[in-house]
Structure 1
Amino acid sequence: MSQQHADSGVQDYVKGFIASLILTIIPFYFVATQSLPDTITYVLMFGCAIVQLLVHLVYFLHMEIRTEDGQWNMISLVFTALVVFIVIAGSIWIMWNLNVNMMM
């Protein structure tokens, strides 16, 4: 590995770390100060979480679509997201069904 390539890798990690810090501080500030209405605060938190997820995928997990390996990375990411969605949705459905059927 060349020195220039190693330096760009470190720079990418630093960029990702700084972006993650900013995307964490922004929601914490608005929740702690309660300076925005609740709905806007929730939207801001959700938006920062989505952007932070993308930052982690690109800068730390090196998920790229451009390369051939990147395509397989994306397929495995989509499969994982689908399985997680099925588990969460199934758990909520089971808990709701138990709540409805067990309450008198």
Structure 2
Amino acid sequence: MTIQTTRLSDPAVRAFVTAVNAHDREAFLALLAPGATMADDGSDRDLDEWIDREIFSSHGHLEVDNESGGGRRLLARYSNDTWGEMRTRWSFTVDDDGRISRFETGQA
């Protein structure tokens, strides 16, 4: 059962999923804290290069199946033009000002 994006608990995570699904790079980047970092399958990646390749140039899309940790951990079906659809986990670190300082993803 998919959770509607508008029903996600954490405002920063909700905005992240919304920006990914709208392919809105500007809104996505505005959510990130200065110096934000990310990891994919346990390895730190270059954030700008990764989001371009895995989200924006390949039409990434998130369908959230489950949330935990106050809305900062997701289980989701992620799809893009490169890899098709896969089950993924996402976790987010959100700063006091409501911006995402780190996110981690990988196959679930």
Question: Where is the strand percentage greater, Structure 1 or Structure 2?
Answer: 2
Higher relative contact order (CA 8 A, sep 6+): 2
How high is the TM-score relative to the length of structure 2? 0.20
Question: Where is the helix percentage greater, Structure 1 or Structure 2?
Answer: 1
How high is the TM-score relative to the length of structure 1? 0.21
Larger Rg: 1
